[in-house]
Structure 1
Amino acid sequence: MLVTGGALAACGGSDDGPAADGKIHLTIATFNEFGYENLIPEYEASHPNIKIEQTKTGQSAPHHQNLLTKLGAGSGLADIEAIEEGFLSQVLDKSGQFNDLKEIGPADVKPERWLKWKADAATTKDGKVIGYGTDIGPVAMCYRKDLFEAAGLPTDPEQVKAMFATWDSYFEAGKRFVDNSEVAWFDSASQVFNVMQNQLPTGYYDTSNNLVIETNAAIKANWDKVTRAVTEGQSAKLVAWGPEWNTGFKTSAFATKTCPSWMMGPVEGNSGPENAGKWAITDAVPGGPTNWGGSYLTVPKQSKHPKEAAELAAWLTAPEQQIKAFKAKGPFPSQLGALDSPDLLSLANDYFVTPNTAQVFASQAKKVERAQFKGEQDGNIQDNVIAPALQAVEQGTAPDDGWKQAVEGAKKLAK
């Protein structure tokens, strides 16, 4: 999910039995925007014996640090804890401290409710289901139609798809663009690299949780392509989520953007009303379909009301509720029933020139065949090692020196 700033909110599991008001109190800990603010009162209205308290952090990393600390302490966790995909392997390693939702959850909630790769990622090797899938981040590409036209690049959707057919053709189009424009081709090397990384069959770790950044030649090949584009002037050299990056949308500092479904909000919010109708979205992603982001709801064994917590988690992740959450805050549904729903597919964001934006992302989600295994430090490597190393290259460090920085940093984290 999209990461933004925010303060850490502590939370604890509920007490044994009903509270003084006669209700069972459940707690749920999330981060960023899950879209539950209106859903929780709806659930309470239909379940008068349940009272729900949600605590929410702005950043995913502090949320997960808090979770892991409380797992180690053996107390203090919420009845429902949200887990982002980049931290899922750390939870799977401690699966004994989480309830198997196949055992305590509603009998009619089967893995078949979700896209197969989404359900598989939260299933342990011995078949336990420790998380109900919430959102996903199917990737498309956003581009400024007006800037393409000004630089003499085609704007017809089919011609744009041809330019975005592979990473080689994408960067070749970027060379032509920057030769005919004062604007950069993309916003940030790390934002492009992250999509390329997610497309690989094996990422920073293999499925045995061994760090393979130095031996996985495909990672280095992607590094070389992105940093070559940087040296050619294709990057706006902006730090993602920073103030200059936010402003870069409004000032038309770049022409293309790797665009998981949740990126529609930042694109619109940062670009402002003066750029309405200038951004388009295409389902042609260089290198093929992939996913970037998404989370799960888990029920730790610390919960005093695991059955009620599992029932709430199942309801929140049902197709109907996920469509409501998407309308409210933008987390894209991972359930097949939602992805096929006319209620979802009819949705369009009028800010973009592309019609039927929900159809674009639903189609992209179904094209993803598997979820890449994320190792225990995967998220930290991407955010705290790879991104700074690529930023160093954008500021003048030689690409080979930046790669050494990345490899050494990943090894230190993985110790």
Structure 2
Amino acid sequence: MSAATVTACGSGSATNQTADGKTELTVATFNEFGYEDLFKEYEAAHPDVKITQRKSGQAAPHHENLFTKLGAGSGLADVEAIEEGYLSQVMSKAGQFNDLKEIGPKDATSDRWLKWKADAATTKDGKLIGYGTDIGPLAMCYRKDLFEKAGLPSDPEAVKALFATWDSYFAAGDQFIAKSGGVAWFDSSAQIFNAMHNQHEVGYFDKSDKLVVESNPAIKADWDAVTKAVAKGQSAKLAAWSNEWNTGFKLGSFATKTCPSWMLGVIETQAGPENKGKWAVTDAFPNGGGNWGGSYLTVPKQSKNAKKAAELAAWLTAPEQQIKAFQAKGTFPSQVKALEAPALLEKTNAYFGDIKAGALFAAQAKKVAAAQYKGPKDGQIQDNVFSPALQSQEQGKSADEAWKTAVAEAQKAAK
């Protein structure tokens, strides 16, 4: 072990210790990771360690704090959670995070995780920046009763053909709105566009971090397909996470929803008990698979206890703990062995007709072909450029004018 590694691992007086001589490890998370009981279990098995959790209610303030303290050079936790939507920004600052292949336990190899999950947190020169926690494999949720009223098949097996490709999905939307009595086919054009876009090999930037919004024809093709569907009346025009969007679930304002594993809980909460049994989920997603959501545990180089922090992070993301976190908070595992665990595969969901949701989403996770390459400002362009531009078309702006605005704003954001 080199002297530099010893320093990075927090040897000697550099370590943070409690008054009773324990090594204090701070862990910064957001939302619900399901770690509270796991921390107690780890401390019981490691009496020399004291874990202090810093927990934010939402991802945005957590990451704002993270990037502020990265810039300041101090103040970060020993273990920092990173949501996948912010991962590209973290990867652009990879030099400020430890390579977990170097400091982590030797058995915590990348092949423990689904390949695309580990690849997304691996730098171009092969450093592993984060251990994968949860994922959000995509399926399609839909309203059985609304399908039946519109003369479409409603059984989860029978609807698969409708969701085979994006072409078949939008064609089914045309059939639906012709007989739906004003109910929309999907909730929001941005939700559909993002799912389509994230299936491509690269995002808004190529692998040399050059903006490709205009030069990548796949982006414009997705735009044209979605805005055409909006023009035909397929969108409910509801901004995701708005009060109107939440109410839309309860009122049955739209018939289909791009559905990561965690969306089942959102639908049940927002649609309410009166709509139990009306929503269904099928193990199909247009053009294959996709992922929306999930996080990583990283160890910043600011940590004075980096080696012990990496050991904790590796333990928290091991298959056994991923299953316990899933049972506690529903966070869907990313470890290959966890995806084969009976506790996951036998998990049913009563709201969605007692379907084996664990097995369904485990199968969907394995359909994701590869991790999309995202440039350092990919997330900002998705959230702050393309989503508003798509909303502007839903509100009456022409698709061509909205596209021009999106291109111009993306070029500004990329500078």
Do the aligned residues in 2 keep the contact of 1:87 with 1:374 (CA within 8 Å)?
Answer: no
Within a 5 Å distance, the mapping from 1:225-374 to structure 2 comes to: 225-353=225-353, 355-374=355-374
Separation in 2 of the partners of 1:326 and 1:205? 33
Q: CA deviation at 1:101?
A: 1.1
1:8-407 paired onto structure 2 within 5 Å: 16-181=15-180, 182-353=182-353, 355-407=355-407
Greater shift after overlay, 294-303 or 37-46? 37-46
Question: What residue identity is the alignment partner of 1:277?
Answer: G
- Distance of 1:60 and 1:217 partners within structure 2: 32
1:176 deviates by: 1.4
Distance 1:230 1:126 in 2: 42
Alpha-carbon separation, structure 1, partners of 2:402 and 2:54: 39
Aligned partners of 2:51, 2:32: CA distance in 1, in Å? Answer: 17
The equivalent of 1:5 in structure 2 is none
The answer (yes or no) to whether the contact 1:205–1:212 under 8 Å persists in 2 is: yes
1:8 matched residue in structure 2: none
Q: Distance in 2 between matches of 1:298 and 1:224?
A: 38
Offset of residue 355 of structure 1 = 1.5
Offset from partner CA, 1:159-196 (integer Å, 9 cap, x none): 31111111111111111111111311111111111110
Select between 173-182 and 142-151 the one with higher mean Cα deviation. 173-182
Mark the runs of 5 or more structure 2 residues left unpaired by the alignment.
Answer: 1-12
Q: Return the offset for 1:293.
A: 2.0
Rounded to whole Å, the distance in 1 between the matches of 2:167 and 2:123 is 37
Q: Per-residue displacement from partner, 1:250-308 (whole Å, max 9, x unpaired)?
A: 11111100001121111111111111111111122112211222211110111111111
Aligned length: 402
**TM-score using structure 1 length:** 0.93
**CA deviation map 1:212-254 (0-9, x unaligned):** 1111111111111111111111111111011111111111111
d(CA) in 1 for partners of 2:35 and 2:409?
Answer: 37
Q: Secondary structure at the match of 1:336?
A: coil
Structure 1: how far apart are the matches of 2:264 and 2:208? 35
* Counterpart Cα distance in 2 of 1:153 and 1:369: 30
Alignment CA distance shift 1:284-1:17 (3 Å): closer
The change in CA–CA distance for 1:97 and 1:307 in structure 2 (over 3 A counts) is same
> Over aligned residues, Cα RMSD in angstroms?
1.6
Alpha-carbon distance in structure 1 between the residues aligned to 2:409 and 2:58 = 22
Q: Which amino acid aligns with 2:35?
A: Y
Structure 1 stretch displaced more, 121-130 or 372-381: 121-130
- In the superposition, the TM-score normalised over structure 2's length comes to 0.93
Conserved? CA contact 1:291–1:371, under 8 Å: no
2:41 corresponds to which letter in structure 1?
E
CA deviation vs aligned residue, 1:38-95 (integer Å, no higher than 9, x gap): 2222222222222212222233333223212211211010100111223223222322
Q: In 1, distance between residues paired with 2:383 and 2:14?
A: 37
Looking at structure 2, the residues matched to 387 and 342 of structure 1 have their Cα atoms a distance apart, in angstroms, of: 39
Q: Is the 8 A contact 1:85 1:374 kept in 2?
A: no
2:148 and 2:258 mapped to 1: Cα distance? 19
Contact 2:143 2:278 in 1 (8 A): yes
User: Does the Cα contact within 8 Å between 1:86 and 1:374 map onto a contact in 2?
Assistant: no
